[in-house]
Structure 1
Amino acid sequence: MVLTACNPSQFNEMPERRDANSQSHSALPPMAQFSTRAARATTRSNTAIAQDILDLSFMMESGRPITHLSRFEGPITVTVAPGAPASLGPDLDRLLNRLRREARIDITRVAPGGETSASITIETLPRSRMQRVVPKAACFVVPRQSSWDEFRHSRNSQSLDWTTLTTRERVAVFIPSDVAPQEIRDCLHEEIGQAIGPLNDLYRLSDSVFNDDNFNAVLTGFDMLVLRVYNNSDWRSGMTRAQAAATLPGLLSRLNPRGNYPGRGTTDHSPRAWISAIETALGRNTSGPRRIGAARMALSLAQSRGWQDNRLAFSYFALGRLTLVRDPELSLASFLTAGRIYSRIAPGGIQEAHVNMQLAAFALSSGQADQALALTGAAMPAATRAENASLLATLLMIRAEALDLSGRPSEARAVRLDSLRWGRYGFGRTEAVRARMTEVAALSPDA
């Protein structure tokens, strides 16, 4: 019996739980938060990056082509509608600071209600209200709007079609107000990234938030390079793909000299059949057997196309998650295979950390405390770099149980206390933090 992945949208099929130790029922310690830091620069070749940028910029997620580039011209302003959760402001300020420093974008925050509309308006509202209108969206961005009321009145009109834009002037970002601080932060990074940059996601990318696998939740070094290119003076609204492609060799050579080495991009796009299978496997409103069948289909399609990249690893990872309860042996084998692929294509990355969390839970449940400690220790640096507090909290909780199992209770108490601090940011409500601690505690053979 093991934990499912840590992304809030991915919880499912948890085993029976016992009460956690009494520490989880005391007052929680203050919430931990990540400090602002520059992301690691991408190490891929500029040839590969150029192909990725073009595919991100000139296609919608649905597969519809974008014939002409659209972007903001000139300085970009961001405002937050009244009523936002307290954590949003500091996380937004950290994000804007990174965009200025790493992507060299002229972007500033302004007070709401100014004489002119801000370029980007962020509005928060209860998730249930959002999903009555857009059922499957955790958060989203729309063009030509500045409020939820404007969006509701325009949602059946052509004004929301990104492909009809030539220049971006106003966009609105909608984020749920009643979720964990980490989820709000994740929405800020993804939706503002799309508001000022490309609109597509590519499953083949292992180092980007522009990927629906949700492993990377804050803008990466690759993403900052993409946004720097997208907002560079060499690009402009109305460019065609061919015009943009002509600028990229020189532009990337100048902006990313470390990428000036022989390499090649990929033209192997993810077929709609594989994307549909993954979406079904990870969907919420589908039966367990059908989801497992969809994961098997995704894996079969990935294997038949000879993929050896992020998409093959993610197919194994999805199958591992979905078979946790029904077929633990298949689940373990799938995680192990996914981990081997991730260690090759993104060594020490957030994907490998997620796999190690799953393997650590397997180890804990079978009484292998030393193995659980080794796996959590290997995963924690990547979780910290990726600023994934929910994953970090879960790793620390597993680690605390393993320390208890090893007869090291004082160390376990200190680690468990640290897990609660990160849990407040990653899971939000006190009840959610305590529930996760109870779930982890139930994995121990001493439960």
Structure 2
Amino acid sequence: MSNFKNQKIAIIGSGITGLACAWHLNRCGFDFRIFEKNARIGGHSNTVDTPSKTPVDTGFIVYNEWTYPNLINLFETIDVDTEASDMSFAISMDKGNFEYAGDDFWTLFGQKRNFFRPRMYSMIKDLLRFYKQAPIDLEQGSASGSLGEYLKKNNYKDAFIRDHLIPMGSAIWSMPPNQMMGFPAQSFIRFCQNHGLLLLTDRPEWRTVTGGSREYVRKITKEFKNKIVINDAAIQIGRDKGKWKLTTKSGEVEIFDQIVFACHGDQILDLIETPTDLQTSVLGAFKYSKNTAYLHQDESLMPKIKKLWSSWNYMGLTNKHSVIDTPVFVTYWMNRLQNYMIEEDYFVSLNPFKKPALDKTIREINYEHPIFDQDAMDAQKELNTIQGVDNLWYCGAWCGYGFHEDGATAGLTVAEQITHIQRPWNVDEKSTAKMNCTALNYKAKNKVA
């Protein structure tokens, strides 16, 4: 670790983590280059223009005012325009056989048959119990084990698990429904509590970037666009006379003093020429699920009852007792999320059971999302044992809960460690992002205005 500004730093990855890290390094006068394997920068900040020139986000879409303090401060510092969004949620099971939305009483029973369904009342009863009891169990330390184990121990019924909790968790983390049962219960409850998901009223306000997330990408990179290498992946990092030799897919070789891995956690070991046993143990614990997103206009991938259409629409299949093991299928109604008051409806569907009609499909995009099982959570706690060792740094949204706040926090924190200079704001609010690399003391004197 060094604060010498003449050192050369490589940043691998140009998602929010790499860009936040680069932004702080740049403002502190450090020399760096970003290596991006794709032809565009931004990672999950991926805005696509429709044929009508409507900019639609297909990855990162929203953030809230409670638990994103670093992202909010970053946006304010680089003057990003944002606007209020909507985070309504609907569930459509078994091709519309069972549907409801969470806006109010009338959408909860928007499908008239719900008035006569025991599963509906069972779900509501357990939902109210979970919202009340889970935070108490978390505080008392009795929410141990996996989410599945916690639910079984506390006798939650299939209807609540199958028709509400698993769909909600799967939609949030883009995880296969059955894998949600392996999510650590404490982490799940803590996340839900911090994000106001266990409240019936007074939930946090959500916002979206005006004009799409590419607008913040454009502003954050304004001062260092010439330091970004696109369409040329780093393929190997090896030792060279006490420094690091980076080789790209095109054959370019460059020597760096420090390397910042701002890519997916499961990609790092393949890049390091001779990883240590400790690196292998820690980084090998991070796994990802592959998800395919479609930007389209096919209404058949939405709930059948149009008045139940919500910002997030979970589309599931069930058997008698549980959700069938398939990738998560959720459709985002982008008009409602991004405030597009236009006649055309635009949707982004993740892993639909059937592809949208070809003549209604605008773009197909592949994404990967981290899987937060107990192994991953344990590895997060061990990340500090390799962080900064031999001038190698590891950061990404996978260091926290997988969201933009986690990614921004991770990138900024690593940049602080390299520069010994604090980010240009104080975070009085508690960020729920976890970064196992100590941020600088906010009272430190070495702060760039």
Q: TM-score, normalised by structure 2?
A: 0.26
Q: Between Structure 1 and Structure 2, which shows a larger proportion of strand residues? A: 2
Q: Between Structure 1 and Structure 2, which shows a larger proportion of helix residues? A: 1
Q: TM-score, normalised by structure 1?
A: 0.26
Structure number with greater CO (CA < 8 Å, separation at least 6) is 2
